[in-house]
Structures are given as structure tokens and as C-alpha cells.
Structure 1
Amino acid sequence: MLIVGEGENGTRRPRVLLPSPKIGPLRSVLYRLGIATALLLSVVAAVYLDRDGYKDNNGGTLSLLDCFYYSTVTVSTTGYGDIAPVTPLARLVNTVFITPVRVLFLIVLVGTTLEVLAERTRQDWRLSRWRHRLRDHIVVVGYGTKGRSAIKTLLSTGVPRASIVVVDPDPRAVAEAAEAGFVGVVGDATQNSVLRQASVHLAKEIIVATARDDTAVLVTLSARHLNPGAGIQASVRESENLQLLRQSGADHVITSSEAAGRLLGVSTSQPNVSEIMEDLLEQGRGLDLVEREVRVEELGKPIRAVREPALALIRDGRTLPYDSKACRELKRGDRLIVVRSAPADPEAGQDEPASSGRDGA
């Protein structure tokens, strides 16, 4: 499978890899044999039903074996000429039916070459159709440990696989993403041309999970330039680059190395607290942190009256802790950060499972 090609000036051009089912060679051969057999039998049936319209040089009416013989030499373009159509109806059937079947039969015989051409055409059609339908999707830049973990969490919150696009410079990583059911783009995401291949300008959310901090900054700058309204969530290894990434246009920045260090420190001094924190980080198992809107029956009440344990309130873009004075009265438009046990109960499942993007930025 060709994923990355060379441009006219020798530069590497991005390629989009769509997920597709795998068909084994034996299954492919059997499929072609089935089509060829069906075509041959259709010709046999047509000749046998009008066998009086054919003349055999040996004389006599065509038998079923003769019909098989004539059909075989006809569709294979051998054509010995010992059996020929003589009536107008038989010749009409040969013209409008048997001749097209002969062409289809030959296509099946030389299907290896034609299959490559057809596959390219089909991939081009699928790519065009995919681009036409792609709107409000999520672009994940980097399919390493961080990128795969982010996608796993997205899937656990109900995000469909078809709305996730992976961008990575490693063809093997993109091939792995395609096998997992995601559309992948091979290329350097710091280049605008690669991001356009992933339709970043139409994306709802962009996750920057690159291995290097400088790459994350460049990707964020390019993504923000192409899509000023998208939510950009980024990760850096060192906290000294956090402010730089925010200035580049990221809405939320996670410091991976320091976050891991904090967990190590907590697990040393408070192992049970560390276990709960790890549980909260893994969506869909044990306890989950969920952002949802305030319900109608909760308006005017304090945050402590909420049925689920509420940790924070989001109002006018500000995140307020549960013990803030502003949390004494919930208002319309407020959003809550609550703790739920997974799987959620049916009534709670009607709420939004997660933030839609830039709330509380």
C-alpha cells in the first residue's frame, strides 16, 4: 500500500489513509471464480432457452452439453465456429447479452491489473466522499502513547471513530491507526498542507500530542492560523513551555512530565488518593469526572444540593471550587464538574458526557 509519495521537487507529499476491510487472497480468488461461474451459467441458460436458434455443423438440436461447450468457447473468445446463431432472436441475444457478458468475463480473468485501477478509483471516490462529509471532527496530531490514550478516552465518552482523524509523520503509526478504524494522514503536521489534508479548518477540536515541545508549538500555531474557532488541547513535557504553547493558541495545556511526577509523589505519601486519581483519569471505569449543564430542578439551589458529588462550577468562563460563595445559588447557563461511577445510571446518561470544547477556558 502506497502511503507517502514524492512531489515534483522531491518533497514528501501528505497522503490520506482510509480504514478499509482486509480481504485475503484465497477469498479474493474464490470471489472472482464465483463471478466467472455466474456469468458462464447465465450464458448457458440464455443459449439453452433458445437452442433452436443455433445451428450445429454436426447436425441435430443442441443438448445441454452443447450449450455449455458453446458458452465456454464464446465467453473465452476461442470461437471455433462449429456452433453459430442462425435466427434473428439468437443473434440479437448474442449482440445485446452474450457479448457484454464476454467482456465482463475477460475483466474477471485479468482482474489483478484492473483491480488495482478499480481500487485506486474506489479510494479516490471514498476520499472525495469523506472530505465532502467531514465537518466538526476531531484531529489528533501524534499517534504515540499520548495520542492513543486521548483517542481511547474520546471513544469511551461516545465519540464515533469516523469523526477522529489522526496525523503522524510515521507511515507505520498511520497504518496502525487505519487498522484501528481511524482515518490517517501521513505527514509533518507543522506544515499547513498536511493540516489541510486533515481538514483542520473544519475541525471542532484539535489535540496536539506530539513527542517534542517545539513541534507542539509549531503545530498549535499552524492549527490556530487555519482554524481560529477550534478548541486546541495540547501536551508538553516541560512546564517552561506551557506559557509559550498557550500564547501559540492552545486553550488547554497539559504538562505530561510534571503530571506524572505529581502522581508519583502522591502515590508515595497517599497511595489511596493516588489510586483514586488514576481511576478518575481513566474514563469509563470506576469513577469518572463529567462536565454537564445545570438541570432545571437544580436552579436556585446550592451546589451541595446536587445529587452527584460536585467538585466545581463553571460560570462565565471561570472555574469555581465547590466551596466558593458563588456556588450557593446555581444559575441558568452554569456547568458542573461532577463525579460519577461508571457505568452511569440511565437518568444521568441523558446529560452531556463531557465538555464540548472550550467551556471554562
Structure 2
Amino acid sequence: MIHLVTCSNSRKRLACAVHVLACIVPAAAPAQSILESVLSRLEIGQETLLPLLAMNTAINTGWIKTETTVATASDDALVAIIYGDYYDPVNSVWGTQEWGIYKSDLGTTLPAVDTWFLEDIHVEADGTIWAQDTDAYTDTFTVYDATGALFGGNGLLIDTGIGAALDILPNNAAVYTDGSEQYILSSSSAVAIDALELSYDDMYRDFRIDASVTNRIDSSVQTAIATVGEASSLELVATQIDLGAISTTGLGAVNTGAITLGVNSSVDDAVGRSTRALSGRVNAIGTTFGEMALIWNEAYNDISVDASVTNVANQVNLTIRSVSTTALGAVNTGQIVSGVNAAVLGIVGRSGQ
């Protein structure tokens, strides 16, 4: 069980003097694997019986899972809960209420005219929260974290000059989730709630498979001077370079595996005094009515593959015998071999022998 704030309207106000208790289910995985994605599209759940699931995959992907930070948390991530007295000027009603402080409130002021609290509540960008006296009376507020645990030991937030401000973003604050909502909490507070887990973001980074070849050749020109009597000649001789054969191959994902499926078979035998009946059946896996077979052979790549060849020559005589380059994102040469589908019927008796 966990103490949560739920908002019934855009004012973020909760029912007066009511502590809401909700049972939180464990969080689902933040990111689906390729297999999970396929199974979900086939509407196959944990309770579904799969007679056969055969996979042969080669996967090269840039998707990674990184822990959610306060900076990347959603604006509606709950940070704290304030509990205190309020006055409703519309209906002239006094009462107590809870008010949620969310990430979007950091660096803002919650004026009493909007919250109906008896004080303005200042929420600094660094998580410092304090109340400003607006009515010349000492008003006390209780501050909880997102799980309902008190801040600062007693969780009291009172008028400026009377009580110290509270820090609702501890140094070890992290983002946790119940599978749908996010909460910014200290690790010690989150551990007390088994249903909360660290929140993760799915990020794509274009990792690179680099099989490139770069040759840069710089040379000074040799000078030869020949003198005969009073005459002279100048000859410029460039350096001779032979790079030979250049070859490179960049491969993203290669699947050369094979899946060989067996067979389902059954034999029925009936024996009488003078006759004997034999019925046999052999079915390829996945052909039986009511059963299912998921056979998957895949090569998948979603990152860059660089197999370029770059040659730069300056003041040289350059020869290259050959240049060969290959860049392949994904290669699937695997095979799936299914079993046999046949039926054999026979009747054997003494008279037949």
C-alpha cells in the first residue's frame, strides 16, 4: 500500500482531509525486446501455451535503456505533498487539504490565491520549499514525499523567520515508477515501497561499425640539378608509392543459422482374433489443428556501417592495384527446414498373412 496524490481537477487539489491509499502493481518492463514485441502483436500472453517457439536471430541495435534522471523525468512526476489549512473564498469554507508538488512546480511560487492555502508556497529550482507569511498569523504545513513519508524528520514547513525551509530533492533523489506514474524519491524511501521500481528511458544512439580505410600520403618533391659548363638543368622527381590492393568489409548482423523441425507422430493399433488394424499418422510440427508454431529466422541491424575507403595524396605518384569495399547492414542466409506430413494406414490379419 502506498500513499499517493491523485488529482480530480486541474487545480491539483485533493479531497479535503482525505488520505488516499492505493495498491500499486509491479511496473512493466520499460522497453520491449523484439521477441516481446512479436508476441504482443500476436496477442500471446503469459498464460498462452506455445507448443513450439523456434528462434534464430542476429540483432545489432543502437537502442539502449538508461536510468531516468530528474532532468528527463516527466513534468507531472510527483515530488512532494503539502498538507495544511485552507480557506475557500468562493463558498466561505475552511478546511484542510493536500496539494501535490510536481516537477513542473520547481522554480515557481504557488500563490495562496490559487491554492487557497493561508500562505504563498515557494518551490525553488533546487528543491528548497518554504512558506511566506501573508496573513500575519503563524500557519503550519506538513510536507511528505511522494510515498507519504515525512520530510525533515517531522515534515513541518512554517512561516518565514519561524521555521527553516525544507529540501524536497535529496542528493540521492532518483525517478521511480509504478508502471504508469513517475515519482522523484530518495532511495531509502523508495525501498520501503516494494511496488516501486527505478524508471528507465529508451534512448537511441547511432553506434557505428567502422571498417573504413583512410590513407593520407604527403611527400616533398626531390630536386635534381645537372650542370654542363655554364648550362644547368633542373629536374623534379616525385616519390613513387604503390598501395597495392585495398579491401574492407563492414557487417552489421549476420545470421547463417538453421532451424530443423521434427514431426509429431501417432500410431493406433487394434488387434482381434482374426484381424489386426494399424493406423499411423505423421504431421509436421505446427500443422495440428488448435496448436501454434512460431518459427523465426531474422537478421536485424539499425546502426551505421561504414566501409568507406579514402585516399589522399599530395606530391606523390600513387598507384593502387585494386579497391574493394563492402558494407552490409544485415545478412540472413539461414534456413528453416520443416518436418514430414504423411499418413500411413494398414490392415494386417492372419488370413492376409
Please indicate, yes or no, whether the TM-score normalized by the shorter chain is above 0.5: no
Q: Flag the structure with more relative contact order, 1 or 2, with Cα contacts below 8 A and sequence separation at least 6.
A: 2
Q: Which one has the bigger helix percentage?
A: 1
Q: Which one has the bigger strand percentage?
A: 2
- Structure with higher Rg: it is 2
TM-score by length of 2: 0.22
